[in-house]
Amino acid sequence: MKRVSALWQASPRKVVGALFVLMLAAMMAVASGASFTSTTPNVGNVVAAGVMHIDTDKSGGAILDVHGLVPGHSDHGTVTLSNTGDAAGVLTLSKSNVVNNGAPLSSKVDLTITDVQSGDVIYAGKLGAMGNRAAGTIAKGGTKTFDFNVAFPDADLNQGTSGSDNAYQGASTSVDFAWNAVSQ
């Protein structure tokens, strides 16, 4: 208290001025709290995951339905995929459930799968040896067509022999193909 008294006696104007400045600052702080505000809502916001959905024009049925194939001949089938999902997809083709009845025809016949739009060969080799194959991309809302060509090579062609393929008479093979699409 002695310090305040000494300060007051030394310079009363300075003490009054300092108190005035402090009081003015306090009033401004209290008075400045009166301001206008406004609030607006954004209600009903929704975030939903999309879907990846492809379908074929075969409705899950066979691409190849070949009967009576003989050495030196071929046949084919096509399938068109449609992407009705929410994104483009990276395609993979796989085979499963290879079943040979009689001689192993799946190791004899050649399979060539071609992307009809681009001309890219997805697979060329023995039917039974095909593993998972990259098949390009399919655009959102797009379609993609593939040609499956199966050929029965003639073992006697240009050999001067006949009957080398007799073991395959009446043989058949069945196989399932599956398409997988992963969103990009």
Please give the full DSSP string across 5-29, using - where no structure is assigned. HHHHHH-HHHHHHHHHHHHHHHHHH
Which strands, in side-by-side order, build the sheet including 133-138?
Answer: 133-138, 89-101, 172-183
d(C-alpha 89, C-alpha 91), whole Å? 6
What residues pair up with 146 in beta bridges, in sequence order? 79, 115
The Cα 146–Cα 135 span in angstroms is 9
Residue 25 has pLDDT above 80, yes or no: no
Q: Please, which residues have CB within 8 angstroms of residue 134's CB and are 6 or more apart in sequence?
A: 90, 91, 92, 122
Say whether pLDDT at 33 is over 70.
Answer: no
pTM: 0.76
Range 117-126 average pLDDT: 98
Q: Which residues pair with 180 in a beta bridge?
A: 92
Query: How confident is the model over 122-130, as a mean pLDDT?
Result: 97
Q: How many CB atoms lie within 10 A of CB 53?
A: 13
DSSP state of 112: E
Q: What is the pLDDT of residues 145-181, one digit of tens each?
A: 999 999 999 988 877 788 889 999 999 999 999 999 9
Strands 73-83 and 54-56 turn out to be antiparallel
User: Mean pLDDT, the chain, as a whole number?
Assistant: 89
- Give the pLDDT score at 156: 81
Which domains are present in the chain?
2-31 (no CATH), 54-183 (2.60.120)
